[in-house]
Amino acid sequence: MIDRYSLPEMAALFTDKHRFELWLQIELLAVDGMSSIGMLSLDEAKTIRRKAPEITTQFVNEVKERENITHHDMAAFVDVVQQAIGYPLASWIHKGLTSSDIVDTALCFTLRQATHLLIQSATELIHVLKARTAEFIATPMIGRTHGMYAEPITFGTKLALWCLSVDRDRERLRRAGDNIAVGKLSGAVGTYSCIDPRVEAFVCNALGLVPTPATQVIARDRHAEYLWACASLGATIETFATEIRHLQRSEVSEVAEPFSSGQKGSSAMPHKRNPVVAERLCGLSRLLRGYLSAGLENVALWHERDISHSSVERIALEDASLLGYYLLKKMIWLIEGMDVYPDKMAANLESAGGVIFSQPILLWLMDHNMTRDEAYRIVQRDAGRSLQENRSFAEIVEQDPQVDISVEEIKRIFSFDKAILNAERLRKIVDKID
């Protein structure tokens, strides 16, 4: 992932240094596990741990240099570690193990760490959305379907529904995190032919992972589920960003993403205040979804394992984690600092001329002995006149000889208060989210 979209907390999980630290930790835990069942003495295990190299920049470079010869990153890593420890004790490093025992267990541990970061940020976004829901729960605005004026809603209800969406994504991340929190140290084809299952149990317990039956590799549906959770999160954030972009359009102007002092919206047109971050989030969400397709294709491997998934994962899992985290942090910034214009929302409501109350009038006529079709045709005709003639819909209805309704009843029906009466109910639902 390019630096532009890599935030340091998540990026740190996918460095060579962090990867080699995990590999070494697992190798040393395997030695401890073998010691715990009497394969070597406790003193020998302690000496191996004491002689183990520190994962420094120099160590990373040594492994890379060795890989130029081995053309195998794990083999290169083991060679450098064993050289640092020295024989005969070094022979206990990687004893009875295959590369995927270390690589897959470390990768699952890393993805669980990444999931924790994503869940923390999703929780932060939920809290920001809850606060802004409470702020605007009674702020009326036009609801829109198919891009056209519909019935009144409140801006707070829109935010509340977004909050519920993020809560569902957080639950998906939790499930994916639980299902990826597994490890295996079961050898070349998963049969424990050269390693005692108790060593696997020891290592996984120390790492907080669950031992899982496997072939040479852990089943890739787990990794695909992780990518699905990230892709779903991206789709949710794209939903929010798309809506903000629409509401920031010049002819709407109901909200605007933050705009800092000194910022320029256009190199040519100084008046521009473009929703550039929202647009960026929409674009990156497309990229994020693409990794899910690759992850699903990684599930089917030949026999007990082939390597076709490996190159894909080195890019897809890291980039999906980085993008998911970046999207969350930017959406937190956007929602928290978003400018909201209730006066413009009210002006847009008024500009509809009252046609947004067509359904209450329809229902009133049906309640007064009209068939639905007859009532529908009358309301449709009057609403059309309101829009075409730029006249008050209520006035046209009042003057319609086919509609016998009092002025007081029209005022009651054309009420924003009634339209948004249940907004508070949704706020109470959102308040229960932790």
Q: How far apart are CA 402 and CA 420, in angstroms?
A: 29
Residues 6+ apart with CB under 8 A from 24: 52, 53, 55, 81
Q: Which residues pair with 131 in a beta bridge?
A: none
- What distance lies between CA 289 and its chain's CA centroid? 11
Residue 342 lies in a domain: yes
Residues 377 and 408 in one domain: yes
Q: Is pLDDT above 80 for 418?
A: no
Residues 141 and 232 in one domain: yes
Residues 366 and 247 in one domain: no
- 18 an active-site residue? no
Cα 93-97-98 angle, rounded to 5 deg:
120
**Residue 223, CA distances (Å) to 45, 334, 351 in order:** 33, 30, 51
- 246 an active-site residue? no
- Mean pLDDT computed over every residue of the chain: 96
What is the percent of the chain where pLDDT is above 90?
Answer: 92
Q: How far apart are CA 376 and CA 373, in angstroms?
A: 5
Task: Summarize the confidence of residues 120-139 as an average pLDDT.
Answer: 97
Q: Which residues pair with 152 in a beta bridge?
A: 142
Residue 45 lies in a domain: no
Residue 165 lies in a domain: yes
Residues 118 and 131 in one domain: yes
Residue 382: domain span:
347-431
Residue 334's CATH number: 1.20.200.10
Residue 94: predicted pLDDT:
98
Residues 6+ apart with CB under 8 A from 358: 379, 380, 383, 393
Q: Which of 71, 146, 271, 303 is catalytic?
A: 146
Please tell me whether the overall predicted TM-score, pTM, comes out greater than 0.85 for this model.
Answer: yes
* pLDDT one-digit tens code per residue, 261-304: 888 888 888 888 899 999 999 999 999 999 999 999 999 999 99
Q: How many domains does the chain have?
A: 2
Residues 150 and 239 in one domain: yes
Domain C-terminal end among 289, 322, 346: 346
Task: Summarize the confidence of residues 237-248 as an average pLDDT.
Answer: 97
- The greatest distance separating any two alpha carbons of the chain, rounded to the nearest whole angstrom, comes to 104
Residues 245 and 388 in one domain: no
Residues 353 and 384 in one domain: yes
Residue 414's CATH number: 1.10.40.30
* pLDDT one-digit tens code per residue, 375-397: 999 999 999 999 999 999 999 99
Task: Summarize the confidence of residues 229-250 as an average pLDDT.
Answer: 97
Residue 198: predicted pLDDT:
98
Domain C-terminal end among 346, 368, 398: 346
* pLDDT one-digit tens code per residue, 314-339: 999 999 999 999 999 999 999 999 99
Q: How far apart are CA 177 and CA 113, in angstroms?
A: 9
Phi-psi label, residue 147: left if phi above 0, alpha if psi -120 to 50, beta otherwise: left
Domain C-terminal end among 346, 376, 409: 346
Task: Summarize the confidence of residues 335-364 as an average pLDDT.
Answer: 95
Q: How far apart are CA 377 and CA 372, in angstroms?
A: 9
Q: Band of the pLDDT at 421, cuts 50, 70, 90?
A: confident
Residue 190 lies in a domain: no
Residue 378: predicted pLDDT:
96
CB 292 within 8 A of CB 224: yes
Task: Summarize the confidence of residues 152-176 as an average pLDDT.
Answer: 97
Residue 75 lies in a domain: no
* pLDDT one-digit tens code per residue, 183-221: 999 999 999 999 999 999 999 999 999 999 999 999 999
* pLDDT one-digit tens code per residue, 43-69: 999 999 999 999 999 999 999 999 999
Residues 231 and 316 in one domain: yes
Residue 263: predicted pLDDT:
83
Residue 47 lies in a domain: no
Residues 305 and 159 in one domain: yes
Residue 20 lies in a domain: no
Residue 267: predicted pLDDT:
80
Q: Band of the pLDDT at 398, cuts 50, 70, 90?
A: very high
Residues 319 and 387 in one domain: no
Residues 252 and 124 in one domain: yes
Q: Which of 41, 91, 193, 266 is catalytic?
A: 266
Residues 414 and 342 in one domain: no
Residue 243 lies in a domain: yes
Residue 261: predicted pLDDT:
83
Q: Is pLDDT above 90 for 150?
A: yes
